[in-house]
């Protein structure tokens, strides 16, 4: 059975949607079931100022997506990179064993969004500088 926290995040997920001018986007598919999660971040002063997600997946995937957005809002990129899928599942009070694979999306999508942000910044940041 799902924990109360999972049910609560599933029925009222936080931070659902897209950020049209996102600084980084992370997308990841679950190879086990084919579900997909996309996560958008807005970064200011090295911190995650805003974060939104769109998940085409089961209740556990939506709950973990919602939880990860709550866990990292306002955090630095370094802190956000340290959050693991396991930590997200634990913050939800655990998941049933046959649903653990659903928690594999959340932190991975977040880490991809941060990598995407860094890549975009490096692409713009080096213009004209000789080193």
Cβ nearer to ligand FES, comparing 19 with 60: 60
Q: Is 23 exposed, middle or buried (0-12, 13-18, 19+ CB in 10 A)?
A: buried
Cβ(88)–Cβ(9) below 8 Å? no
**Residue 6 interacts with ligand FES (CB under 6 A): yes or no:** no
Angle subtended at Cα 110 by Cα 12 and Cα 88, rounded to the nearest 5 degrees: 55
Residue 102 as a binder of ligand FES (CB under 6 A): the answer is yes
Contact string (CB under 6 A) for ligand FES, positions 49-88, x = contact: --------xx-xx---------------------------
Q: How far is the CB of 58 from ligand FES (least distance, A)?
A: 3
Q: What are the Cα distances from residue 64, in Å, to 10, 21, 36, 47, 99?
A: 9, 24, 13, 21, 11
Is position 102 annotated as part of the catalytic site?
Answer: yes
Catalytic residues: 33, 102
Residues found near ligand FES in the complex (CB under 6 A): 30, 33, 35, 57-58, 60-61, 102
């Amino acid at each position: 059975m799902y924990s109360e926290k999972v049910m609560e995040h599933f029925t009222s997920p936080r931070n659902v949607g897209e950020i049209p001018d996102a600084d980084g986007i992370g997308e990841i598919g679950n190879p086990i079931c084919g579900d997909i999660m996309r996560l958008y971040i807005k970064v200011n002063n090295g911190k995650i100022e805003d974060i939104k997600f769109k998940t085409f997946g089961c209740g556990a995937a939506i709950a973990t997506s919602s939880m990860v957005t709550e866990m990292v809002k306002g955090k630095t990129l370094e802190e956000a990179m340290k959050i693991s899928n396991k930590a997200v599942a634990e913050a939800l009070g655990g998941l049933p064993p046959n649903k653990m694979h659903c928690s594999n999306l959340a932190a991975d999508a977040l880490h991809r969004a941060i990598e995407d942000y860094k890549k975009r910044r490096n692409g713009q940041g080096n213009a004209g500088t000789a080193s």
